[in-house]
Structure 1
Amino acid sequence: MCALAVPKIESKIIDTPSCIYKKDLNSIILGSASNSRFTQDQLERCANVDWITIYQDHNDKKGKLRKIDGGVILNLEDLSNLSEETFDSYLKHSNPIKIVPFKEDEENKELTEEVAYKELWCTHKKFLAEGSHNTRIMLFCDGTRVFLSGNVGRWGRKDNLFNLNFQQTISKCNSILKKYDLPPFTIGKSERFFSQFDGKSHLKRLYGAVVTRLDINVNFATGSPENAQYLIDYLQARSMSYVSKSVSGRSSVQWGKKGGRLYTKAYVKFEEMLRHCSSKKDELAVLTESFAYQFAKNNGIVRIETEIDRKTLSETGLRDLENITMSKLVGVAKIKIDELMNDIPLGLEHFEPEKVFYKKEHKKYIKTLAMWKSGMDLKAFTVISKSTFYRHKEEILKISGIDIEQRYVEGVTVEALSLISKISLEPVERPENYSLAIDWEAPELNVIDLTRHLPTRKQINEALLAVVPTQEFLNTNLAEPNHALIAKRNAEAKERYQMRKLYDIKNQDKRAY
């Protein structure tokens, strides 16, 4: 058996009823909420498309388009060990792959007899189309379906501080396809039908492009690198409805999981540019002197990015190309931005619970906040019950923006909350002197001789013969337990238990103080 990577040779508007979620979201997408910190127009002028995954089936040219992929993964089984009777029986039902391998000699290469292989399975890899500045997108065509995925706006450019809108992204996608002699993505038509098998309504695409992922981001200017970090410190204490939160490093925070429903992340942009830069001194110097880096650092740019997955696009009626507009995409992203930004308190010099929770019905929260500020882990449910914790958490978060589920950090948690109220936070439009131009030529696809990448019968036999049992293994009595190995594992388990106890005692001592 062997698995090998072998490079390969070679408008109408939809008139269907709305999905159940579309009606609910349209009221938010098309009409800005009265309590929104940022208007729809503000965000729409500043929003960018970061990633797109899109495909289109050209059934009218079925199998006739130029085939492009990154090679075929073949899983082959050598048939040289089969008996003649079995081999003859196999020939009647299938055609084996016959390869003429090369035999390596000192002087020359001589052709040897054919070797027959049975194909167990094969899959086509996506072709990585490379642009300048080490940028790549995934491209695939099997003769009928054209597929493209990647950060198209970033492709062929030095940075992606600012990017294209949706229509510009589609135009750039089509220009890339043209260079590879592939047809463009076009608008089309879908129809809805009811299945007799499950009684459910299904959407069938008749023709046109389908989008399965879109990332929308907005850059916010905080005024300085320090202010950008204060904003991230504050956001790291915020929670979102129905999704988990994770923190990776000091300058970023994520809500949800990659590839999940409306995955959202926020990060300091110039810090992210440094992380993606090579450690070489010359490349680092070029980056730090560039306009994009200086602009992001001096203005304290914090980016909030929302990934809209396939299921959300389908439920909101934004799956088909003809139904997608930048306004609708920004409306979906705006829901998450409002959830993070709307409750930032204003006019706080420093956080004093008595000044924020001044109403009579708020007194019960002051004791909980005092315990939280002392560094106690309230989520351990040792000082308050589980139901009380989650009830207080929801109300405190709603009133002050503080999430007591996150442990209090001296010098960060409350100070960031008070400082963030002084930041002038505004979405940023692309400056006039920032260029989105690219310089790229499509490379030729190489034709590679497949036979040189398949193993010879001799190589397969040598690999099989190399796996022989040692004398030590043959002398081992497998019926009796290995007492030495069992004693070693018990000792390791005991050591791990003792280390855990020491760790728990140390944490208890810390909480006591």
Structure 2
Amino acid sequence: METSPVFIDYVTIRQEYFGGGLPVLNDGKVLKVDADGEIEYSTDVRCIIEGSYDSRVQVRCDGNTVEFTGNISRYGRRDNLFGYDWPTTIARINDLLSLLGLPPFTSGKLYKFADTGWSWSGARVSRIDLTCNYSTGSKESMHAVLCHMAGQHVGRQKGSLSPDSGTVEYGRGSKYVYGKLYAKYQELEKHRSKKSGSHVSDDVIDYCKTEGILREEFTLKSRFLLQNNLAYLGAITQDNLNQIYADRTQLQRLEDMKYENFNDLPKHLRSTYASWKLGLPLDISRATRYRHRTELLAYGVDISIPNNVHHLPSRVRVVELKPLTAPDWYIQNYG
């Protein structure tokens, strides 16, 4: 069976067991007390379950309801550059619940109700993060795509580029869907200084740089899942999630993207070229101007002619975006 390039990161899921009698698992309780000293309500705090390589997820059970939240594809692994599809994700979560003495999440049965229509009886899902990795071929191409996408719109939301030029966000704060596109190697290097990110291998980071890996990610929140009839485990399939991703992705809508690329210019020519392109005075001597003009002619640039839209030379590189699945070496070494 062909592996889907779309995989799952974060999941929040819960299921109520009406028979009760389950082991209680929490990290204490939070109480709200009114002015008269009466307890209005109490909530069990999720218990943090730690795995190898400083990974962790959260589980809670009050004796009747089991809840899981976290990124199971990172749990017990050095990194989550490549995660798992939906069935494998649920299976791994259920394996962990079994180790904790808790029952698994199940699809339950499909029932028809007169007022609400068809509905499942099993586990309910309130968050799913869909993810796909793309190869752009190089770091330079990757950053060119990010800069391009920062100017695009998803619906009414315009992309926002982070100060480090490593992330474009769409819909931050949305209660429906939040999307982002980011340079994976920058994220790994950023977390390298933290204990939880210190286990990522140099091979993985180098691979992300060499391939120019971009990660596109969508957080499907409870409102989205409910409105799209995906709030129950029994209603969700990998095909559902693949289609949702295909409908929302911005990258797969792009044809081969072309952008001007002068990163291969010798360093001593870049400042001259940049000034010429912006129409600024060339603050260099006559001899340097003559020498730089001669060298830049090989790149299709003639700095003796003022730059304008009618005489703009084009030197372009084509960025080909390729969805990635985990290569054999990654699977063998990192699972």
For this structure pair, what is the TM-score category when the shorter chain's length is used for normalisation?
0.7 to 0.9
Q: Check if 1:172 corresponds to 2:129.
A: no
Superposed displacement of residue 308, structure 1:
1.4
Superposed displacement of residue 347, structure 1:
5.9
User: 1:263 and 1:186, CA in 2 relative to 1: closer, same or farther beyond 3 A?
Assistant: same
Is the 8 Å Cα contact of residues 257 and 320 (structure 2) preserved in structure 1? no
What is the root-mean-square deviation of aligned Cα atoms in Å? 3.2
Q: Check if 1:318 corresponds to 2:233.
A: no
SS at match of 1:422: strand
- Residue deviations 1:203-255 (CA, integer Å, cap 9, x gap): 655x3112111111110001111111111111111111133533323110111
SS at match of 2:107: coil
If the length of structure 1 is used for normalisation, what is the TM-score? Answer: 0.50
Q: Check if 1:73 corresponds to 2:30.
A: yes
Superposed displacement of residue 122, structure 1:
2.7
Superposed displacement of residue 290, structure 1:
2.6
1:47-58 correspondence runs (5 A): 47-58=6-17
Is the 8 Å Cα contact of residues 262 and 309 (structure 1) preserved in structure 2? yes
Instruction: Give aligned pairs, total.
Output: 284
Matched with 2:169 is: 254
2:179 maps to which of 264, 285, 288: 264
Alpha-carbon distance in structure 2 between the residues aligned to 1:430 and 1:418:
33
User: 1:345 and 1:424, CA in 2 relative to 1: closer, same or farther beyond 3 A?
Assistant: closer
- Residue deviations 1:350-375 (CA, integer Å, cap 9, x gap): 9xxxxxxxxxxxxxxxxxxxxxx99x
- Unaligned segments of structure 2, at least 5 residues: 262-277, 280-311
1:33-112 correspondence runs (5 A): 45-59=4-18, 61-62=19-20, 64-75=21-32
- Residue deviations 1:12-32 (CA, integer Å, cap 9, x gap): xxxxxxxxxxxxxxxxxxxxx
- Residue deviations 1:10-61 (CA, integer Å, cap 9, x gap): xxxxxxxxxxxxxxxxxxxxxxxxxxxxxxx99x6211101111111111x2
Alpha-carbon distance in structure 2 between the residues aligned to 1:433 and 1:238:
35
Matched with 1:127 is: 47
Matched with 2:216 is: 304
Q: Check if 1:427 corresponds to 2:323.
A: yes
Matched with 1:212 is: 126
Letter in 2 for 1:54: I
Tell me which protein shows more strand as a share of its residues. Answer: 2
If the length of structure 2 is used for normalisation, what is the TM-score? Answer: 0.75
Superposed displacement of residue 343, structure 1:
3.7
1:276 maps to which of 173, 178, 191: 191
Superposed displacement of residue 429, structure 1:
1.0
- Residue deviations 1:384-442 (CA, integer Å, cap 9, x gap): xxxxxxxxxxxxxxxxxxxxxxxxxxxxxxx9x985x6112101110112248999xxx
Letter in 2 for 1:189: K
User: 1:298 and 1:220, CA in 2 relative to 1: closer, same or farther beyond 3 A?
Assistant: same
SS at match of 2:234: helix
Superposed displacement of residue 299, structure 1:
0.7
Larger radius of gyration: 1
User: 1:75 and 1:270, CA in 2 relative to 1: closer, same or farther beyond 3 A?
Assistant: same
Alpha-carbon distance in structure 1 between the residues aligned to 2:83 and 2:318:
29
Letter in 1 for 2:42: C
Is the 8 Å Cα contact of residues 146 and 168 (structure 2) preserved in structure 1? yes
Q: Check if 1:187 corresponds to 2:107.
A: yes
